[in-house]
Amino acid sequence: MPFCEPLAREGLSCKYFIFSLRPLPHSAVNYYERKGNLTLRIFTENNTIKIRREGIFLCLDGSKADSPSVANVLGTLSNFIKIQCKNFDIPFKMGLLSWDRELEATPSADFLSSNTISKSGRFITPLAEDMFSLLEEKAYDLIIVASDTIYDLEDWRDEISSRFNTIYERNLKDLEQKTQLQWEEEFLNTVFNFQMDKVALSFDDSLPYSFPNDFRIKIIGGKTILEKECKSRLVDVELKTCGTGKEARFTLHACNSSVEMHIENTLPEVSLIDNEFDDNQKGIFLSALEDYKRREPAHQCPLCQCKHKFSRAFVCSQQKSSTQIFATESVIFREIESKRREDARYVVFHSVNGKVCWRVAEKPVICVNSNNLVVIPDEGSVSCVKIADRAEVIPCGELHKGLFSSPDGEIYVLRLR
Task: Flag the least confident range among 142-151, 164-173, 265-274.
Answer: 265-274
Provide the pLDDT for residue 88.
Answer: 87
Does any domain span residue 127?
A: yes
Among 160, 189, 218, residue at a domain's last position: 189
Higher confidence at residue 122 or residue 184?
184
Does any domain span residue 373?
A: yes
Our separate counts of H helices and E strands in the chain read: 9, 27
Does any domain span residue 223?
A: no
Higher confidence at residue 260 or residue 233?
260
Q: How far apart are CA 183 and CA 77, in angstroms?
A: 9
Among 189, 220, 241, residue at a domain's last position: 189
Does any domain span residue 231?
A: no
Task: Check whether residue 182 and residue 279 sit in a common domain.
Answer: no
Among 131, 166, 189, residue at a domain's last position: 189
Residue 363, C-beta contacts closer than 8 angstroms, at least 6 positions apart:
210, 211, 213, 345
Dihedral-angle region of residue 72 (phi above 0 means left; psi in -120 to 50 means alpha; beta otherwise): alpha
Mean pLDDT (whole number) for 252-256: 80
Task: Check whether residue 311 and residue 165 sit in a common domain.
Answer: no
Q: Is 73 helix (H, G, I), strand (E, B) or coil?
A: helix
When the pLDDT of each residue in the chain is averaged and rounded to a whole number, the result is: 75
Inform me whether the pLDDT recorded for 54 exceeds 50. Answer: yes
Confidence grade of residue 317 (pLDDT, cut at 50, 70, 90): low
Does any domain span residue 135?
A: yes
Inform me whether the pLDDT recorded for 223 exceeds 90. Answer: no
Is residue 387 within 8 Å of residue 377, measured between CB atoms?
no
Does any domain span residue 200?
A: no
Confidence grade of residue 337 (pLDDT, cut at 50, 70, 90): low
Task: Check whether residue 306 and residue 158 sit in a common domain.
Answer: no
Question: What pTM did the predictor assign?
Answer: 0.68
Does any domain span residue 385?
A: yes
Dihedral-angle region of residue 339 (phi above 0 means left; psi in -120 to 50 means alpha; beta otherwise): left
Element spanning 161, H or E: helix 153-163
Q: Could you give the number of structural domains in the chain?
A: 2
Task: Check whether residue 182 and residue 295 sit in a common domain.
Answer: no
Inform me whether the pLDDT recorded for 324 exceeds 70. Answer: no
Residue 230, C-beta contacts closer than 8 angstroms, at least 6 positions apart:
196, 197, 198, 199
Task: Check whether residue 282 and residue 411 sit in a common domain.
Answer: yes
Q: How far apart are CA 412 and CA 348, in angstroms?
A: 6
Task: Flag the least confident range among 28-32, 143-147, 198-202.
Answer: 28-32
Express as a percent the part of the chain with pLDDT over 90. 15
Mean pLDDT (whole number) for 131-152: 89
Inform me whether the pLDDT recorded for 133 exceeds 80. Answer: yes
Start-to-end C-alpha separation, the chain: 43
Q: Please give the residue range of the domain that contains residue 291.
A: 275-415
Inform me whether the pLDDT recorded for 204 exceeds 60. Answer: yes
Does any domain span residue 234?
A: no
Q: Is 246 helix (H, G, I), strand (E, B) or coil?
A: coil
Task: Check whether residue 279 and residue 185 sit in a common domain.
Answer: no
| pLDDT, tens digit (0-9, with 9 covering 90-100), for 379-401 | 667 777 777 656 677 778 887 77
Q: What are phi and psi of 155, to 5 degrees?
A: -65, -30
Task: Check whether residue 293 and residue 394 sit in a common domain.
Answer: yes
Confidence grade of residue 335 (pLDDT, cut at 50, 70, 90): low
Helical spans, DSSP H, in 177-313: 180-189, 279-293
Task: Check whether residue 295 and residue 407 sit in a common domain.
Answer: yes
Most confident range, picked from 10-14, 357-361, 367-371: 357-361
Task: Flag the least confident range among 35-39, 129-133, 158-162, 185-189.
Answer: 35-39
Q: How far apart are CA 237 and CA 224, in angstroms?
A: 16
| pLDDT, tens digit (0-9, with 9 covering 90-100), for 340-361 | 666 677 888 888 787 888 887 8
